[in-house]
Structure formats: structure tokens, C-alpha cells
Amino acid sequence: MTAKTPLGDFLHARRSQLRPQDVGVPTYGERRRVPGLRREEIALLAGVSASYYTRLEQGESPSASPEVLDALARALLLDESERRYLHDLAGAGRRRARGRRPAPERVPEPTRQLLDVLGDVPAIVLGRRSDVLAWNVQGHALFAGHLDPGAPEQPGQRPNMARLVFLDPHVRELYADWPGKARAVVGSLRLAAGQHPQDAALHTLVGELSSRSGDFASLWADHRIKACTVADYEMRHPLVGPLTVTQQTLSSGPGPAVVVATTAPGSPSRAALALLVQATARPGLPADPSRPARQPVKP
């Protein structure tokens, strides 16, 4: 029998990814028919009955206590982000769906002020579904200079970073380690899905990406959670060439998050970013004098 709930799906997936040697379960040389741990082995490690764990995984038990969830998290070797996600899924199972449409996401005025004071630091504002709600000039030039700079101000045309990473060839080429960026995007969407289980638009986005991208579908089925608040990425920018940036997500709780890109002082990447800022501020200036002039990014 397969899982019938998001909680059951997650438990089944993570159990299947663990090997007996990962948790010190002896196998005595036996050959196993399926990968991963057995239900009774996880139940033993968590200190619950095998029948109760089976009901959880098959969606026949609506919820579990926080203590049981923490025990399961330890047995499954979940990190802190994954443990919180497990609690979110169990909490969703206890709540009744009301079917209310979430209010449209907007950029708070303090966040717009933050974009202004960041100056030459590339920054974008992302909603919970990874919609681009706003960006400064440098953020637009670094992350999606091929798009209309005014797109975030039009709710029906807002770019979505998950769609861009998986479906836009320009953005896919932008990241030297595209698989790493893709895993981070999927992990972030998984966290959002756990926190907002009744967000129909988020589920629609996941369905769209699953049908249009085999890479996304495979990563989503893996059930990996990744809270990527700080990460280094090597980017291959069409105007200034290769540079390594540190992407940091700034968030004060519910509401949009600000993603900024910084570079190490004195590094070639800092110089490349300065060239991008210069090219953005002075249209018509080639980013690299050794290359022919290119169409400037619109401010």
C-alpha cells in the first residue's frame, strides 16, 4: 500500500533513502528486496509500535504528537530544517482545509526602502512561491537581465525564480553548478509547501514544473529539504563573464524575503560585479573592453 498523505509520502521517501549501516541496524548478511530501512526498523529506532508507524506512513492516522515526531526525526537522521518540515506536515494533517485563496503578495514599504539603501548590491524580493515581487537595477541585471525590468510590478507577469531555473535556458546557463541551484530551489519550495499546505497556487506551480521538467519531477519526488539561507554560486554572466557570488536570504518571518548577492573583497568576482554595476549605470559601455559592445541592459 502506498502513502496517502504528504506526511506519509515524506516518511516513506526518507525511510527508503536510509541504509541499515547509516543507523547501525545489523543485517547479518541478508539480501533485501527493497532499498532502505523496513517500517519495523524505523519504528524500533523511534520507540513506537510498528503498526502505529505503518498507519502514519499509509495515511491512516491523522496526526502524531510532537514527541513522536521528534523521535521519528532522530530515527530518520533529519536535520533541523527537515524536522520542522515534518512538524509542518503533521500540523497540516490536523487542520481542516478551508479552501480560502491567500491574499496577493505585496512588497512592504520597509522592504522597498531596503532595496533603495542597498545601492550597488544586487537584490531581489521573493514571495513564498519564489515569485519575484521586486528587484533593484543590479538584481535585475545579475539574475535576469534578459527579462523586462518592469515585470515584477505587474502581478500577472511576475517572473518566478523556480520556473526560470528549470525552464529558462538563459538562467540555466547562468549557474555553473546548475544541479546545486536546482536542489536549493526545490528544497525551498518543499519548505513553503509544508508551511502553506492550503496554497492552491503553490500546488499548481509544483504540478506545472513536474509536468514540464523531468529534472524537477525527479528532485521533488526525492523529498529533500534544503533551507538555503546562505550559499555560494559560480555564475557565468553573459556581460561580465564568470564570477562567484554569495547569495544570502534575509527574512524577518512571514512575508517576502530579500535575496542579496555579495562578492569577496578584492576578488575578480568583486571586479566583475563592479563592471556589471558600471554597465548598468552607463548604458552603452561594454562590460569587458576585450569584447565587442553588446546591447546594454535596460535600467
**How far apart (Å, rounded) are the C-alpha atoms in residues 239 and 19?**
46
Report whether 56 contacts 62 (CB < 8 A): no
Average pLDDT over residues 265-292: 71
More confident site: 181 or 281 = 181
**How far apart (Å, rounded) are the C-alpha atoms in residues 117 and 129?**
25
Q: In what order do the strands lie in the sheet with 132-135?
A: 132-135, 123-126, 257-262, 241-250, 230-237
**9 C-beta neighbours (distance < 10 Å), count:** 17
Report whether 69 contacts 90 (CB < 8 A): yes
Residues contacting 123, CB < 8 A, separation 6+: 114, 115, 135, 136, 138, 139, 258, 259, 260, 261
The CATH code of domain 109-281 reads: 3.30.450.180
Cell (9 digits) for 239 = 556581460
What's the mean per-residue pLDDT of the chain? Answer: 85
The per-residue pLDDT for range 86-125, each reduced to its tens digit, is: 998 888 755 544 555 667 788 989 899 999 899 889 999 9
**The pLDDT of residue 161 is above 80:** yes
The counts of H helices and E strands in the chain are 14, 5
Sign of the CA dihedral with 272 first, then 275, 281, and 286 last: negative
The per-residue pLDDT for range 205-249, each reduced to its tens digit, is: 999 999 999 999 999 988 888 777 899 999 999 999 999 999 999
**CATH 1.10.260.40 in the chain, residue ranges:** 6-94
Which of 66, 60, 54 shows the shortest CA–CA distance to 90?
66
**The pLDDT of residue 282 is above 60:** no
Q: What is the pLDDT of residue 287?
A: 37
| Banded model confidence at residue 296, pLDDT cuts 50, 70, 90 | very low
| Banded model confidence at residue 25, pLDDT cuts 50, 70, 90 | confident
The CATH code of domain 6-94 reads: 1.10.260.40
How many residues are there in the chain?
299
**CATH 3.30.450.180 in the chain, residue ranges:** 109-281
This prediction's pTM: 0.80
